[in-house]
Amino acid sequence: MRKYETVVMFNTQLSKEQLTQEITKVKELLQSNAAQEVEEINWGKREIAYYVKKQKFAHYVMFAYHCDQGGVVEETNSVLRISDAVLKFQTHRVNESVRGFRGNPKRAAQQQ
């Protein structure tokens, strides 16, 4: 099974409820397309290095998941691409032998 990470930058003009709805939509989309062990990690509001769609800040959320099919990634990317709430996104395939740390210090301490 392959491991993937998708980092999504959401617009900061969304209310807290709208942001929660958007995160839930992405999570449900992944689960409905046979992604397993979907984990969301909210990085919070951060400054962007350059303006994206006239925004200097964004809410960063990372989704970590496992799947067998590459269609999950393609479907997720196509939905994120047309969403108005999403400023940018990026999906990576994770090779665990190379990268054991996924942004969570507690998890890194457990793996050692």
Q: What is the pLDDT of residue 36?
A: 87
Are 2 and 68 spatial neighbours (Cβ–Cβ below 8 Å)?
A: yes
Q: What is the pLDDT of residue 32?
A: 87
The set of residues, in sequence order, having a beta carbon less than 8 Å from that of 95 and lying 6+ positions away, is none
Handedness of CA 63, 35, 109, 94 (dihedral sign): negative
pLDDT per residue of the chain (112 residues) written in tens, 0 to 9: 888 899 999 999 999 999 999 999 999 988 888 888 888 999 999 999 999 899 999 999 999 988 887 688 888 889 999 999 999 999 888 876 655 555 665 655 555 5
Q: Could you tell me which residues are beta bridge partners of residue 60?
A: 9, 44
Q: Is the pTM of this model over 0.75?
A: yes
Closest CA to 90 of 103, 105, 73, 102: 73
Cα distances from 67 to residues 24, 29, 30, in angstroms, run: 19, 13, 9
Percentages (nearest 5) of helix, strand, coil residues in the chain: 30, 45, 25
